[in-house]
């Protein structure tokens, strides 16, 4: 973990760092066997106690679905006691002293967990059943610091507090996301010289409700009154979004003489850029040191093919001032994209490319395409091994940018979008954790 503070932690090859990674993973395994029942069960079933090579980790990796392996009825019926008991099967938190009296919904449950040091980050997925991923306080610190470090490594911009930061996407009520936002402000701007899109933070409950409704529509069971109510809510939210974008456009134009840091996803950045151009401004009207932080892909947004160029030209952004990264809620650290267009994996995360079922480690002596598996040494609140839902192209050779760390190509596809996401161990994990809870 000390390598986090090196000027260039991405200079190490996988072979350079593997012995140290295995030693660190063994320390995490020893501690995790004591606190995480699901890990203990996996280790016993597969007779794994000593990690001598990367393949030893594969049977201990949790499918990403492990974090939504509770019974959906516990959530819909408000069985927060059962939800808390389930959470302890996949996390290190003891939850001692947790008071669930008066909890009325998933947002209240998440808030109450924070009172005993369990910070849950949530992702809704496409089914409406959220993954609940437990973090310790130390994980929040590392995740927020890693984003600052990744931005500086990728762009060469030091944390000098000399920019005006614009948050140009809606906020969510997730503590990890909020800590990350505040860390960026602390490093590159100031609270007084930052701007956030003026929308109320989105709660996990409202996201779940929206996805669940769309599922009811797809199944043909939504009533006419439900459809009417949803359309009304949708129109209200669109009006709020349009008003917020209009305000953000005016604020950006008024601030164009400052050094700017724009953050968001491509869809929101494109909408803002279109608003700026509609008022007659474009690249020559902004300084040439504007920087952009953008996370994730398009998330289903329909944008024109030249959306990147449109955004960057609007704000006069050079490619070297763009921090684009790949990550997931199950990991602490974002993987920054280099000038060669590949995402680099830091030495405290083991890159474990797997076959599609998630059963076998693929050879690493040549570029390979497979399911992304990882072991994140930095994780404290849960087990660091995860089998993701992503198909990736991985190389363990030196990148054209000159860095020797394992690197992932830009064409990342979710197996769910390819006709299914079937991980061999997922059913076993789901049945076990529900039974334990």
C-alpha span between 89 and 66 (Å, rounded): 10
> How many angstroms separate the CA atoms of 116 and 108, rounded?
14
What's this model's pTM, rounded to 2 decimal places? 0.91
Instruction: Name the residue among 181, 153, 158 with its Cα closest to residue 289.
Output: 158
How far, in whole angstroms, is CA 15 from its chain's centroid?
27
DSSP 5: G
Mean pLDDT of 50-58: 96
Per-residue model confidence (pLDDT) at position 297: 63
CA distances 207 to 214, 229, 367, Å, are 11, 16, 38
63: Cα separation from own chain's centroid: 16
Q: Determine the length of the chain.
A: 437
| Domains delineated in the chain | 139-326 (3.40.50)
Q: What is the pLDDT of residues 244-262, one digit of tens each?
A: 999 999 999 999 999 999 9
Average pLDDT of span 212-234 = 84
Dihedral (CA of 261, 267, 273, 279) sign: negative
Is residue 222's pLDDT more than 60?
yes
Res. 299 pLDDT band, cuts 50 70 90 = low
Residue range 68-103, pLDDT digits in tens: 999 989 988 999 999 999 999 999 999 999 999 999
58: left (phi over 0), alpha (psi -120 to 50) or beta: alpha
Task: Output the six-digit token pair for 88.
Answer: 């302890």
* β-strand partners of 408: 343, 394
**Alpha-carbon span 121 to 123, nearest angstrom:** 7
Q: Which helix (H) or strand (E) holds 391?
A: strand 385-395
pLDDT digits (tens, 9 = 90+) for 155-177: 999 999 999 999 999 888 889 99
d(CA 185, CA 229): 38
Taking the C-alpha atoms of residue 422 and residue 437, their distance in angstroms, rounded to an integer, is 24
Give the integer Cα–Cα distance in Å for 163 and 331. 28
pLDDT at 126 over 60: no
Res. 353 pLDDT band, cuts 50 70 90 = very high
Tokens 């359309």 correspond to 231
With a cut of 70, say whether residue 53 has pLDDT above it.
yes
pLDDT digits (tens, 9 = 90+) for 105-115: 999 999 999 99
pLDDT band at 212 (very low <50, low <70, confident <90, very high): confident
- Express as a percent the part of the chain with pLDDT over 70: 97
| Residues 129 and 212: beta-carbon distance below 8 Å | no
């Amino acid at each position: 973990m000390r390598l986090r503070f090196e000027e260039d932690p991405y200079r190490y090859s996988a072979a350079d760092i593997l012995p140290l990674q295995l030693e660190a993973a063994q320390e995490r395994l020893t501690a995790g066997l004591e606190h995480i029942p699901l890990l203990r069960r996996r280790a016993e079933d597969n007779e794994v106690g000593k990690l001598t090579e990367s393949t030893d980790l594969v049977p201990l990796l949790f499918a990403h679905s492990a974090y939504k392996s509770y019974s959906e009825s516990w959530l819909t019926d408000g069985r927060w006691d059962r939800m808390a008991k389930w959470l302890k099967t996949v996390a290190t938190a003891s939850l001692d002293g947790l008071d669930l009296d008066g909890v009325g919904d998933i947002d209240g449950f998440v808030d109450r967990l924070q009172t005993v040091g369990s910070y849950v980050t949530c992702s809704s997925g496409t089914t409406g059943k959220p993954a609940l991923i437990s973090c310790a306080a130390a994980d929040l610190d590392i995740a927020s610091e890693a984003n600052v470090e990744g931005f500086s490594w990728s762009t060469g911009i030091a944390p000098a507090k000399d920019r005006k930061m614009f948050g140009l996407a809606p906020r969510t009520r997730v503590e990890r996301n909020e800590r990350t936002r505040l860390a960026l402000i602390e490093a590159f701007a100031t609270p007084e010289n930052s701007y956030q899109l003026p929308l109320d933070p989105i709660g996990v409950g409202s996201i779940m409700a929206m996805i669940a409704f769309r599922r009811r529509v797809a199944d043909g069971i939504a009533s006419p009154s439900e459809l009417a109510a949803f359309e009304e809510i949708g129109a209200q939210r669109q009006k709020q979004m349009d008003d917020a974008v209009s305000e953000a456009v005016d604020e950006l134009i008024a601030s164009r003489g400052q050094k700017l840091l724009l953050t968001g996803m491509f869809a929101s950045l494109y909408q803002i850029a279109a608003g700026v151009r509609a008022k007659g401004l474009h690249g020559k009207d902004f300084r040439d040191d504007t920087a952009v932080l953008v996370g994730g892909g398009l998330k289903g947004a329909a944008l024109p093919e030249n959306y990147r160029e449109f955004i960057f030209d609007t704000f006069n952004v050079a490619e070297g001032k763009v921090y684009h990264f790949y990550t997931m809620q199950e990991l602490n650290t974002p993987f920054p994209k280099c000038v060669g267009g590949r995402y680099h994996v830091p030495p405290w995360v083991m890159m474990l490319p797997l076959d599609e079922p998630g059963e076998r480690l693929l050879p690493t002596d040549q570029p390979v395409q497979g399911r992304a598996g990882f072991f994140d040494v930095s994780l404290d609140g849960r087990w660091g091994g995860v089998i993701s839902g992503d198909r990736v192209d991985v190389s363990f050779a030196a990148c054209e940018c000159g860095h020797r760390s394992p690197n992932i190509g830009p064409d990342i596809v979710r197996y769910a979008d390819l006709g299914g996401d079937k991980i061999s161990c997922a059913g076993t994990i789901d049945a076990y954790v529900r039974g334990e809870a």
